Each structure stands twice: as C-alpha cells, then as structure tokens.
Structure 1
Amino acid sequence: YRVYISNNGKGFGDGLTVNDTTYTFTGAANTTYYFKISAVNAGGESFTTSVVAARTPASPTSNASYLIVDGFDRLSPMVLRNEGSILGNVRRMFLERMNRYDYMVDHAAALSNCGAAFDGAQNEAVIADMISLNGYAAVDWILGEESTADRTLDATEAAKLTAYLDAGGNLLISGAELGWDIGRAASANANLNFYNNYLKANYIDDDAGTYNFTGTSQFFANQSGTFDNGSAGIFDVDFPDRISAVTGAELLLNYSGGTGDGAAVGFRGNHRVVYMAFPFEAITDPAIRSTVMCNAVSYLTPLLPATGLSLKAQSGKAGNILQWTTLTELNTQRFEVEKSDDGFNFKTTGMRVPAKGNSTTVTAYEAIDPQVWPISYYRLKAVDKDGSYNYSNTVVVKADTKQHLFVVHNPVQSILPVQVQSAKPYSLQLYNIAGIQVYQQKFDAGTQRLQIAVQHLPKGVYVLRFNDGQVQEQVKVILQ
C-alpha cells in the first residue's frame, strides 16, 4: 500500500510504502492531518481512497472528541458538453464534478477552527466494525448527495447510529437526499422510525427551490449563507430536501427564498442532533462553514473545559454587556471574548476573564465591551489549563441607531478604523490633547467604513469628533 499525508488536504507528498494494513503516524499537538491510501502491485497503482482527516488533541493523554464519517460515495452522471460544430454534444466524465472524494477536508477545516480534536473514517470502516462510534462525544456524518440508489444510510449504519444515540450520543448529519431516501414513506428505503424519532424531522418534499439559507435566533444568529449551485467548484445541490421539526425539536436553519421551508432541525434531549437537509460541505464561504460548524459544536457538545457554556449579550450605557454561565467546569483557565462585525471573521477583544476552574454547579460571568459598533457579534473561547479550547454560541448586539460615530478598534496604531452612519453630509475632525486639530475631512451621507491614517501623529490621547451641522458626537482615541 502507499500512504499519502498532507497538512492541508489538497497537496500530498510522495507516498510511503507500507506492507501491512495498519500504519501509525506521529504528529504535533493541535494539528490537523489528512490521509489517503492506494494499493500497489505489479500491474501498477490503484486510485486512492477518499481523503480522511484527524486532528491531534492538545494533550497526549487526551482522546479525540469527534469522529467525522464520510458516507458520500455517489458518482454524479456524466456532463453533457458541446464540443464544437463537428463533435456536437458529448458526454464527458469530469471526476472532480462527479465526486472529489475529499469533502472531509471542508468538515475538518471547519471543525479545527472550533477547537475540537477528531478522528476520521469512511462509512465502510464503521460498517465493518473497524471503528466504533462509542466513546466519541459527537459524530459528524457526511452524506453529500448520496441518495436512493446508493443508500444514504443502510440498515447497518442506521442500527449503529441508533445504538449510539440511545446511549446519549450526539450527531451532526448533513445531506441533500436523506429525507427523500429514508424519510419519505413511499421510498423503498424508508426508515421513518430513525428519521422521525432520532433525527427528529418530518420530510415535507423535495427541492427547496433556492441555494440560500438563514439562521434563527438560537442558531447561526439570524445570519445568512449560500450553498453551491455548481459555480463554486463543489457540486450543484439541485434538490435539497425540505423538512420540519417534530414535537420537541426545533428549526435551526430555514431556506431563504424558494419554498422557505426548514433547512435544518435540532434536538436536545437524551441525545442531541443537528440535521441539515443540504450538504454542509457545499456552503460556499469557508468562514460561514466554520461559523455554522462552531454553532453546531456548541449546540451538540458544550465541551470541556466548560460544559453548558451559554452566552447572551445586550447593549448598555457603558457598552455592550456580555453575560454567560457554565453548568460545570474542569480545569478551566479563562474565557476570551472574541468579536466580529460580520459574524464570520472573529478577532480577540483582549478581554480575558479568569474562570472558576473546577465547579459542578452553575457559575455566572459578566464582561462589558466599551467599544460599541453598529452591529457586534460575540463568542467566547473557553480555554483549558492544557491549552485546549472550545467556543460558545454566537450572539449579536445592534447598537442604538441614534449613535452615528463608531470607532472599530481602540487603542490604535497606524490606522484609525471608523464606521459612520449618517442621513446627512458630515465632517470628522481629530484633535490632540492640546485641542489642536490634526485632521479634518467632509463626507457624503450614508453608512461608511473609513480608514484614517494616523501613523504620522505622536502617540497619545486624541478626540475624534462627528458633526453633521445639527448633531455632534465625540470619542476619545488612544494612539499607541
């Protein structure tokens, strides 16, 4: 056999020859690795397997908490393409459009951004009992566009998932045809017991008629995203299922446009599940993929170091007030507050709140962010003493619309980032501590994100002033 190893899942080095069916690879802590294998004999080398991924935990004594299972085997039909006036329409086999067999890369990259260590396997390995679901905090099962002919979940897979969920397991499962295959009473593969009672969904119909989705207040913070229509190089999700939640479950995502039905269902009870009726890997924006994945991780497994981590936020007189609780803590070191203006690209605020450390009762925390933006997204990074971490849910705070001037980052160095919303033309002035004006500029009405160069100014305290001829506002700025 030949084992190929990669740090990014796309570029693989020369294969390692292995004369056995096992190979042990030693890697660095908190690092994601990707693998694929081929068979070699006198006749040459076979195609490789699909790509599987694994991320090492922070501590050598810890185990992976997640298992990613790739169950997407289906090959889409050949592409009918016009090859000119002589050949005309010809059916071509473009393998990368039929199935790239590396969709675990997208799941692994997103899950890595959520701080979870994980193992990876093909679904055939689960069926053959080469790997057990038991012992994993959660399973991420990939189905892509697997459908009736290929079986989304056969009887063995469904039985193993049923036993895992009965034991209190947690499941993220995504695929465009799962409802059509096992949730539809007329299907030859129908498994309504598993679909209704374990995935907690009702199948409505096929084809949502859109490629867009939106979150809810409890998941994905009412944000929006898009999955591939064939133009993003993933695959065309042309018939995503339309679903609803059974009693006791809840809708987490809805389709935007088209039929407007449910796109994802969640359930938190004896087991937990997030079931997406379109393929997770088909989300076109990697940042949105990561945000959706981290929301799913928070929903399914509020992991150690802090379990039951729940964040909420609201605007206040002194700034945005963040409040959170944990149900239990074990060797938790601190909480870091991260912030974003778009809900996808988060940066640290510099606020670090020491954790209680070890607790078996509810513990409450609070922090205030004095830097108010028009729209602020927040999440917490819970860090353990061994360096492992996980993220909370994402929350959003909208500022008082009466405010016009917002300093995005403060203190600043070479660039002063400012956001202004004004219905009238306005001017900005910057004054040093002596009251001397060092900057002035006029702007048209509207909402604008500005980058004011201040690298030529001495370090110190300044005042930035907004004036639209009727309203004046000012913010103190520290130049470091």
Structure 2
Amino acid sequence: MKKIYLSLFLVLTWLKGFSAGEIAFVAFQSDDPDSFSWVALVPIPAGTTIFFTDNGWNGTAFRTSEGVLTWTAPAGGVPAGTVVTITGTSTASTGTVVASLGSFSLAAAGDQIFAFKGTLASPTFIAAINFGSTGWVDDNMPASTNTTALPAALTNGSNAVAVGNQDNGRFNCSDGSEMGNIATIGANINTTTNWTTSATPLSPAVSACTYTSSSLPVRLISFKSEAHSAAIELTWQTGEEIDNSHFEIERSSNAQNFEAIGRVIGQGNSTAKLVYSYVDVSPKTGLNYYRLKQVDLDGQFEYSRIVSARLTGLGLFKAYPNPVVGILTIELPSESTIESACLIDLTGRKVREFFDSNVSVEGVENGMYTLQVKTKDGRTFQQRVLKIN
C-alpha cells in the first residue's frame, strides 16, 4: 500500500469559500447498494455542507430530473486525508447525509456525480466523476439524464475524471504518486488509468489508501479585499514560506471561471510574517471575486479561499479644486455621507483628519497627499490631492 502525501491549506480556506479540487472522488458503486466515496484534501470545519447530485450538466445549467444529497461535517470537523463513503441516500461513514431534492440513484448504464456548494441553480463546483459510455459530451444539451457536459469551472484530469462505462470503480492507490500537494494528488486521483473498474462490485469497494500530510509550502494567515472609488485592493499575510516562487492573482465575475490579472513575487523561504498587496485598477462593475494561486519554485501550486468586493460609486466621488490652496470640497454619491476622512502624506503619516465635506488645508505643507474617505454605509474612496500655495 502506497502513501499519498498532500499539502494542507489552513482551515481558513474553507471558512468562506470552496475551490475546485478541495475534495476528490475515489470510488463509486452503481450496483446495489449505491455508494460513492471521496477524500478531503483540506480540513473541513464542523457544520460545513457539501451537495452531491447525479443530475447532468448541459453546458449552462443542471438538468433537474434527478436528485441532490446534502452532506454535513460532524462536530470536530474532518481532517484532511479523511475518506468519506456515502451509501444510499442516508448513510455516511463520517458526518451525516440526507436526500434534499429529487431522487438520487446511480444508473448502472452510466451516470455522473458532481460535488458543489451554493445551489442547484447557481453552483460552485468542487469535483466531478463520470462513468458513462460517452464521457464528457461536447454539446450543450446532453441527450439523456445519464450524460453530461463538463462545467467550465472543472478540468478533466485535475478535479474531474471520466473512467468509462462500468458499474463500479475505485482509485487504485498502487498507481498513485508518493508525494505531492493538492494539485499533484488531484491530478493523480483524476487520471483514468489510475482507476480499477468492474461490471461487478469490487472488494474492497474503496482502496486502502493512507493520505498523510507534509509541511505547508506557504502558510496563509489572512486574505482580504477592499473596494475603493475606482479600484479594489487585495492584501494578504503569510506566516511561513517554503520555496515560494510567486502569487498569481485571479479574478472572476461568478466565483467559478477565473482569469489571471496579475502576479506578485514571493520571498522564497521565510519564517517571518510577510504582508503582500495588489491593486486591481480595472475591476468589473458590481461584485468581483478573487483568489490567490500560490506557485512553488517547482511549478506546483495551491489556491487560496475566494474573497469578494463590490465596486460602487465609480465616477460619483470627487474632491475639488485639485490642486487645492485653501478649502477642499468632497462630493460623494447621493446616498452616502462621510463617517471619517483624512489626508495621508507620501510616508503614510496621517496629517489631518476631518468629518465633513468642506476641509480647510491651511497650514498643510505643499505636496502630494492621498485623501481617504470612509462613508457610513461602509464604502471607502481615495484620491490623490496636490496642496499648493
């Protein structure tokens, strides 16, 4: 029996969002009794819910003729490396499971299982397995309930796998790699040739794999987003870095399909607390979702949790005259009022604080300043201001 090694994210990664590949399917059985198994590749806090469905995906939405199961993590949570087996619609080896919608039943003629968060109408995909004869279909309208397209948020061979039309199957641990992070383990599990399949139930139904954690490549302490008048600022802090090459900043408008918008170089190896930042100067209007892709020196990578910020007030905030001699006037969106504001010099020192829209800058030295305004409805605006005589 080989051991599979994986790098753990902090529990922090599961508190507010899920990323594709944080669990992986490791077995299925469509012969009576129906069952499937998956492994947690990150720690899962107590009370966390994950939804499973055998509905097919038509390219833009789920078909809704089949069922949904709701799994809930037990008190104390689920450690990374734990294999959870769900039998029927009401039995789970760890945690609890209930049938929450429709009829969940795996078809021996071929079927699929998706793991997701959110809702059936607006899912955030985590993992998928396909054991139908057609594999992942290319068109946007699968011909039957037992065929499916692959959602754009998932990648076959990374966080999804198609194993061919067999009634039963399991990830074959003896064909797995011995060491790797989440991306490596996910690729290993989601490679078709690493699976054993059969027309009759397998014994054991799940391979006896031991999933053992190795050291963290990067320990992420925090990851935050803050909207300003025309930009969104991202800040994050690490507590330890091992062979950290860089961070890629990815943005999405739907929390599913991400694109890279920037890169910040890492410190390589460090045991100190380090703070990083990135400003998205061209965010989309409305809600923007962000995640970090931390890349090691050897090319392996991990994803952070997802954070979001809403761009509001674009083009509705201004401070004038600029340059300013005596009185600076602040205009805000009509629904906003000032809670606090300040002028900050180039060294980061706060030189003047005020609480209304007309500000005297008499006595302030000539030079460039950042005007920062916080409103009572929670928004923050910033503008460069030049003070002259």
**With structure 1 as the length reference, what TM-score do the two structures score?**
0.32
Give the number of the structure whose residues are more often helix, by fraction: 1
Greater relative contact order: 1 or 2 (C-alpha under 8 angstroms, separation 6 or more)? 2
